[in-house]
Amino acid sequence: MSSLAARRRHPAALVIVLLFGLIVTGGLYAALAPKNADAATSSSSDIAAGKQLFLSNCATCHGVNATGGNEAPDLVGVGAAAVDFQVGTGRMPLAAPGIQAEADTNGPQFDNKQISQLAAYVASLGPGPGIPASDLTSGGGDIAKGGELFRVNCAMCHNFAGSGGALTRGKFAPSLMDVSGKHMYEAMETGPQSMPVFNNTNMSPTDKKDIISFLQNTKDEPNQGGANLGNLGPVPEGLFVWTIGIGLLIGAAVWLGRKAA
């Protein structure tokens, strides 16, 4: 140790320390950067930037320490997945108080970098589910198994074809046709708003992958029987038949009964 200390003013010492620092930084980067999905490897600067974003956009409701308010839930331990879902679909920041937070049709209010910074900050508050790896959310699973799981666990709210459906007092389960696989996975994992939680102890990551594959397949499937009228079940189909179908029949009957001359 003393010999090292003695040589600390050697002309080469600066170069060696610089080289050492670069190798360590590069090595760490190489080790951590590729798995950008689950680890989210949030640097302290991301967390700091996320905290600034949080304070200026979210703290009014969720509190400066993210411990919740009158209407807003405590965010300690909800994890990066909840933030990525709520902010990434435009549900948060909430546009206006309402019966439920709806996905913003104009897309999220933040860019991907800001969302990951916010997620990093909230994830740093307490351990929670992370953002899923892309191989779990981009399909390729067992579609038949996914369909069975979907019909048992999801179809009662989200409709047999994922077209969404009504809940109580104006709330509704949204259509799943235009939801990305990542957001579906995060919703199952975290149980946003009225939705129950289907985390990994309930439904394994492979099960979730199967469900996402089933829904992506359903979306791509051509309509076997012509116009599907939104796949909403008997109400729009009945309405179509009772108005347009019977209207056409009445028109035909009137034409048949008219004299030619």
Q: How many residues does the chain have?
A: 261
DSSP letter assigned to residue 166: E
**Whole-angstrom distance, CA of residue 238 vs CA of residue 223:** 19
Q: Is the dihedral of CA 74, 71, 198, 95 positive or negative?
A: negative
Select the residue interacting with other proteins from 30, 201, 253, 254 (CB under 8 A): 201
Decide if 205 contacts 141 (C-beta within 8 A): no
2 is in an annotated binding site: no
191 binds other proteins (CB under 8 A): yes
Report the nearest approach of other proteins to the CB of residue 23 (Å): 43
Per CB under 8 A, which of residues 133..162 are in contact with other proteins?
148-149, 152-153, 156-157
30 binds other proteins (CB under 8 A): no
Residues that bind other proteins (rule: CB under 8 A) add up to a total of: 34
Select the residue interacting with other proteins from 4, 96, 253, 256 (CB under 8 A): 256
**Whole-angstrom distance, CA of residue 147 vs CA of residue 213:** 9
Q: By C-beta, is 185 or 198 nearer to other proteins?
A: 198
Q: By C-beta, is 112 or 228 nearer to other proteins?
A: 228
259 binds other proteins (CB under 8 A): yes
Select the residue interacting with other proteins from 11, 97, 170, 226 (CB under 8 A): 226
Cβ count within 10 A of residue 14: 11
By CB atoms closer than 10 A (0-12, 13-18, 19+), residue 51 is buried
**Whole-angstrom distance, CA of residue 131 vs CA of residue 118:** 12
Q: What is the DSSP string of 14-48?
A: HHHHHHHHHHHHHHHHHHHSS--SSSTT--HHHHH
Q: By C-beta, is 122 or 149 nearer to other proteins?
A: 149
Q: By C-beta, is 59 or 157 nearer to other proteins?
A: 157
Decide if 164 contacts 173 (C-beta within 8 A): yes
Task: Give binding residues as ranges.
Answer: 58, 61-62, 154, 157-158
Q: Which residues bind other proteins (CB under 8 A)?
A: 148-149, 152-153, 156-157, 165, 167-168, 171, 173, 191, 193-199, 201-202, 207, 222-228, 255-256, 259-261
Task: Give binding residues for heme c as ranges.
Answer: 58, 61-62, 154, 157-158
